[in-house]
Amino acid sequence: MSARNSPVKSTSELESETPAPPTLSLRDAFLSGACESALVQIYENERPLLGLAAELDRLFQGVLNHAIRSGFVTGKAGEFCILPLPRKSGKAPFLITVGMGSQPERKSDSPLVRRRLPEADVLKALLVQLRHLKASRLGVSCQDFGSTQNHAHLEKTFHGVHDLTLFS
Protein backbone atom coordinates (compact mmCIF):
# COMPACT_ATOMS: atom_id res chain seq x y z
CA MET A 1 0.00 0.00 0.00
CA SER A 2 1.45 3.36 -0.94
CA ALA A 3 1.72 6.25 1.51
CA ARG A 4 -0.90 8.11 -0.52
CA ASN A 5 -3.55 5.41 0.15
CA SER A 6 -2.52 4.81 3.76
CA PRO A 7 -5.36 5.07 6.31
CA VAL A 8 -2.90 6.58 8.81
CA LYS A 9 -2.83 10.36 8.58
CA SER A 10 0.29 12.43 8.86
CA THR A 11 0.71 15.03 11.58
CA SER A 12 0.26 17.86 9.07
CA GLU A 13 -3.02 16.31 7.83
CA LEU A 14 -4.32 16.00 11.40
CA GLU A 15 -3.31 19.59 12.23
CA SER A 16 -5.13 20.90 9.16
CA GLU A 17 -8.33 19.11 10.28
CA THR A 18 -8.13 20.31 13.89
CA PRO A 19 -9.70 23.73 14.36
CA ALA A 20 -7.32 26.37 15.64
CA PRO A 21 -8.01 27.39 19.22
CA PRO A 22 -9.57 30.83 19.52
CA THR A 23 -7.19 33.63 20.45
CA LEU A 24 -9.53 36.59 20.94
CA SER A 25 -11.25 36.96 24.32
CA LEU A 26 -15.01 37.41 24.37
CA ARG A 27 -14.62 40.83 25.98
CA ASP A 28 -12.27 41.91 23.17
CA ALA A 29 -14.67 40.41 20.61
CA PHE A 30 -17.40 42.75 21.87
CA LEU A 31 -15.05 45.72 21.71
CA SER A 32 -13.93 44.90 18.16
CA GLY A 33 -17.44 44.10 16.89
CA ALA A 34 -16.59 40.44 16.24
CA CYS A 35 -19.64 39.43 18.27
CA GLU A 36 -22.91 41.16 19.10
CA SER A 37 -24.24 38.88 21.81
CA ALA A 38 -22.77 36.51 24.37
CA LEU A 39 -23.60 33.53 26.52
CA VAL A 40 -22.40 33.89 30.12
CA GLN A 41 -22.68 31.68 33.21
CA ILE A 42 -24.13 33.04 36.45
CA TYR A 43 -23.84 31.16 39.76
CA GLU A 44 -26.39 31.78 42.49
CA ASN A 45 -23.77 31.98 45.26
CA GLU A 46 -21.13 34.00 43.42
CA ARG A 47 -21.25 37.60 44.62
CA PRO A 48 -19.45 39.67 43.63
CA LEU A 49 -19.40 38.34 40.08
CA LEU A 50 -16.12 36.80 38.94
CA GLY A 51 -14.51 35.93 35.61
CA LEU A 52 -16.26 36.70 32.35
CA ALA A 53 -19.48 37.79 34.06
CA ALA A 54 -17.55 40.46 35.99
CA GLU A 55 -15.68 41.61 32.84
CA LEU A 56 -18.88 41.94 30.82
CA ASP A 57 -20.67 43.64 33.70
CA ARG A 58 -17.92 46.29 33.83
CA LEU A 59 -17.94 46.65 30.05
CA PHE A 60 -21.71 47.22 29.98
CA GLN A 61 -22.03 49.58 32.97
CA GLY A 62 -23.35 47.08 35.54
CA VAL A 63 -26.18 45.50 33.53
CA LEU A 64 -25.62 42.07 35.15
CA ASN A 65 -25.41 43.39 38.71
CA HIS A 66 -28.54 45.47 38.14
CA ALA A 67 -30.41 42.37 36.86
CA ILE A 68 -29.21 40.38 39.90
CA ARG A 69 -30.12 43.08 42.43
CA SER A 70 -33.59 43.42 40.88
CA GLY A 71 -34.13 39.64 41.12
CA PHE A 72 -34.47 39.20 37.34
CA VAL A 73 -31.32 37.02 37.29
CA THR A 74 -30.75 34.62 40.20
CA GLY A 75 -28.26 32.08 38.86
CA LYS A 76 -30.46 29.12 39.78
CA ALA A 77 -29.67 26.01 37.73
CA GLY A 78 -31.51 26.06 34.43
CA GLU A 79 -32.47 29.74 34.48
CA PHE A 80 -32.11 31.53 31.13
CA CYS A 81 -32.38 35.29 30.78
CA ILE A 82 -31.85 37.63 27.86
CA LEU A 83 -30.52 41.05 28.82
CA PRO A 84 -30.51 43.80 26.20
CA LEU A 85 -27.33 45.86 26.06
CA PRO A 86 -26.80 49.48 25.03
CA ARG A 87 -26.99 49.68 21.24
CA LYS A 88 -23.85 50.84 19.47
CA SER A 89 -25.25 50.68 15.96
CA GLY A 90 -27.38 48.31 13.95
CA LYS A 91 -28.96 45.38 15.77
CA ALA A 92 -29.25 45.66 19.56
CA PRO A 93 -26.80 43.31 21.31
CA PHE A 94 -27.70 41.22 24.33
CA LEU A 95 -26.30 38.88 26.97
CA ILE A 96 -27.82 35.46 27.50
CA THR A 97 -27.30 34.28 31.06
CA VAL A 98 -27.45 30.63 32.00
CA GLY A 99 -28.01 29.82 35.66
CA MET A 100 -25.51 27.28 36.93
CA GLY A 101 -26.78 26.76 40.48
CA SER A 102 -24.28 26.87 43.33
CA GLN A 103 -20.60 27.21 42.61
CA PRO A 104 -18.54 24.68 44.58
CA GLU A 105 -16.66 26.31 47.45
CA ARG A 106 -13.20 27.55 46.53
CA LYS A 107 -10.20 26.59 48.57
CA SER A 108 -8.67 29.65 50.20
CA ASP A 109 -5.35 29.12 48.37
CA SER A 110 -7.03 28.89 44.95
CA PRO A 111 -7.65 32.30 43.36
CA LEU A 112 -9.20 30.80 40.22
CA VAL A 113 -12.82 29.85 39.84
CA ARG A 114 -13.30 26.54 38.04
CA ARG A 115 -15.97 26.83 35.34
CA ARG A 116 -17.82 23.91 33.82
CA LEU A 117 -20.41 22.97 31.26
CA PRO A 118 -23.98 23.06 32.57
CA GLU A 119 -25.53 19.77 33.73
CA ALA A 120 -26.86 17.62 30.87
CA ASP A 121 -30.54 18.61 31.26
CA VAL A 122 -29.71 22.32 31.54
CA LEU A 123 -27.35 22.10 28.55
CA LYS A 124 -30.01 20.36 26.45
CA ALA A 125 -32.57 23.07 27.26
CA LEU A 126 -29.97 25.79 26.62
CA LEU A 127 -29.18 24.39 23.17
CA VAL A 128 -32.88 24.31 22.28
CA GLN A 129 -33.24 27.95 23.36
CA LEU A 130 -30.14 29.03 21.43
CA ARG A 131 -31.26 27.26 18.25
CA HIS A 132 -34.65 29.00 18.41
CA LEU A 133 -33.15 32.39 19.24
CA LYS A 134 -31.00 32.54 16.09
CA ALA A 135 -28.85 35.31 17.51
CA SER A 136 -26.41 36.89 15.10
CA ARG A 137 -22.72 36.72 15.97
CA LEU A 138 -23.23 34.96 19.31
CA GLY A 139 -20.02 34.54 21.31
CA VAL A 140 -19.18 31.80 23.79
CA SER A 141 -16.07 31.87 25.97
CA CYS A 142 -14.20 28.56 26.07
CA GLN A 143 -12.81 29.49 29.47
CA ASP A 144 -16.24 30.33 30.88
CA PHE A 145 -17.55 26.92 29.82
CA GLY A 146 -14.63 25.02 31.33
CA SER A 147 -12.84 24.00 28.17
CA THR A 148 -9.62 25.93 27.82
CA GLN A 149 -7.88 22.97 26.19
CA ASN A 150 -10.56 21.01 24.32
CA HIS A 151 -12.07 23.49 21.85
CA ALA A 152 -13.23 20.68 19.57
CA HIS A 153 -15.42 19.35 22.40
CA LEU A 154 -17.15 22.73 22.78
CA GLU A 155 -17.59 23.02 19.01
CA LYS A 156 -19.29 19.63 19.05
CA THR A 157 -21.39 20.59 22.10
CA PHE A 158 -22.70 23.78 20.47
CA HIS A 159 -23.01 22.29 16.97
CA GLY A 160 -26.12 23.53 15.18
CA VAL A 161 -26.38 26.82 17.06
CA HIS A 162 -26.80 29.62 14.49
CA ASP A 163 -23.83 31.96 13.94
CA LEU A 164 -21.94 30.95 17.12
CA THR A 165 -18.23 31.67 17.56
CA LEU A 166 -15.98 30.36 20.31
CA PHE A 167 -13.57 32.80 21.94
CA SER A 168 -10.76 32.19 24.42
CATH number at residue 38: 3.40.220.10
Print the domain residue range for 141: 26-102+114-167
Query: Does pLDDT of 75 surpass 90?
Result: yes
Q: Cα–Cα distances in Å, from 32 out to 26, 35, 75?
A: 10, 8, 28
144 in a domain, yes or no?
yes
pLDDT tens digits, 84-108: 887 665 566 889 999 988 877 665 5
Q: Is 121 helix (H, G, I), strand (E, B) or coil?
A: helix
pLDDT bucket at 15, cuts 50 / 70 / 90: very low
Query: Does pLDDT of 66 surpass 50?
Result: yes
9 in a domain, yes or no?
no
Checking 81-85 for CB contacts under 8 A at 24+ apart, the result is: 82/133, 85/60
Across the range 4-14, mean pLDDT stands at 46
Query: Does pLDDT of 11 surpass 50?
Result: no
- pTM of the predicted model as reported, rounded to 2 decimal places: 0.74
- Are 137 and 166 within 8 A, CB to CB? no
Strand partners, 141: 167
pLDDT tens digits, 18-38: 455 456 788 888 788 888 888
Q: Cα–Cα distances in Å, from 36 out to 30, 91, 103, 166?
A: 6, 8, 27, 13
Q: In total, how many domains does the chain have?
A: 1
Instruction: Starting at the earlier edge strand, list the strands of the sheet with 164-167.
Output: 80-84, 94-99, 37-42, 138-141, 164-167
pLDDT of residue 13: 47
pLDDT of residue 123: 82
Strand partners, 81: 97
8 in a domain, yes or no?
no
93 in a domain, yes or no?
yes
161 in a domain, yes or no?
yes
pLDDT bucket at 74, cuts 50 / 70 / 90: very high
pLDDT of residue 147: 66
Query: Does pLDDT of 72 surpass 90?
Result: yes
4 in a domain, yes or no?
no
Summary mean pLDDT of the chain: 77
